[in-house]
A = this chain, B = another copy of it.
Amino acid sequence: MDKRNVLGKFKFFTESEPSFQQELIASCSVARLAAGTCYFNEGDICDQFAIVGSGQLRVYKVGENGREITLYHVHAGESCLLNMSCLTAGTPCPATARAETDVEALVFQGTDFRRWMSSSELLRNYAFEMVATRLAGVMELIEEIAFQRMDQRLADYLATQFAEPHGRERSIETTHAQIAADLGSAREVVSRLLKDFEHRGAIQLSRGRIRLQSERVLRSITRD
Q: Contact residues of A with B, CB < 8 Å?
A: 61, 63-65, 67, 69, 71, 81-82, 85-86, 88-89, 91, 94-95, 117-118, 121, 124, 128-129, 131-133, 135-136, 138-143, 145-148, 184
A91 to B128, CA, bound (A): 10
- Given A94-B140, A118-B124, A140-B94: A86 and B132 within 8 A (CB)? yes
Alpha-carbon distance between A119 and B143 when the two chains are bound, in angstroms: 36
Query: For A147, what are the chain B residues with a Cβ–Cβ distance below 8 Å?
Result: 63-65, 67, 69, 184
Q: How far is the CA of A135 from the CA of B148 in the complex (A)?
A: 22
Chain B residue numbers with a CB within 8 Å of A91 are 129, 132-133, 136
Number of this chain's copies in the assembly equals: 2
A142 to B143, CA, bound (A): 10
In the complex, residue of chain B having the shortest beta-carbon distance to the beta carbon of A185: B146
- B95 touching A129 by the CB < 8 A rule? no
Closest to A95 in B: B139
